[in-house]
Amino acid sequence: MGLRIESSDGGLRLVGVADLGTRAVLDQALTGVPPHADLHLELAQLAFIDVRAVAALVAAAGRLDAGRRLVLHDPPPELLRIIDVMWGRPRTIEVHT
């Protein structure tokens, strides 16, 4: 199973698996996001995400302009656990369930 990234209202929808095999697709999508707006990610259809993919999301949040946020919609619980353990939930990341 791969990773499909679709445009959604004001952001991106990740569908499938975000791991080493799909890292280039994820990196390319995150690099193309303008830093001057909030980045919304719909994650309800994300079946799996590894630590390196979570690190890519945190790095994308760090590239946003001051006052902007990475907004995670319906993230899988393991993604939030990884963020909390590794980075202590940065202020630039907001969660909507």
- Round to whole Å and give the CA distance between 23 and 19: 6
CATH number for the 3-96 domain, one of 3.40.50.1110, 1.10.275.10, 3.30.750.24, 3.30.70.20? 3.30.750.24
Domain ranges of the chain: 3-96
**Per-residue pLDDT at 8:** 83
Distance set, CA 68 to CA 62, 74, 91 (Å) = 9, 19, 10
Residue 1: its pLDDT value, please? 77
Q: Residues 6 or more apart from 54 whose CB is under 8 A from it?
A: 79, 82, 83, 86
CB 82 within 8 A of CB 57: no
Give the separation between CA 4 and CA 46, rounded to whole angstroms: 9
Of the candidates 21, 86, 85, 8, the residue with the CA atom closest to the CA atom of residue 49? 21
Structure tokens given for 5: 């990234």
pLDDT < 70 regions, the chain: none
**pTM greater than 0.85 (yes/no):** yes
pLDDT of residue 15: 97
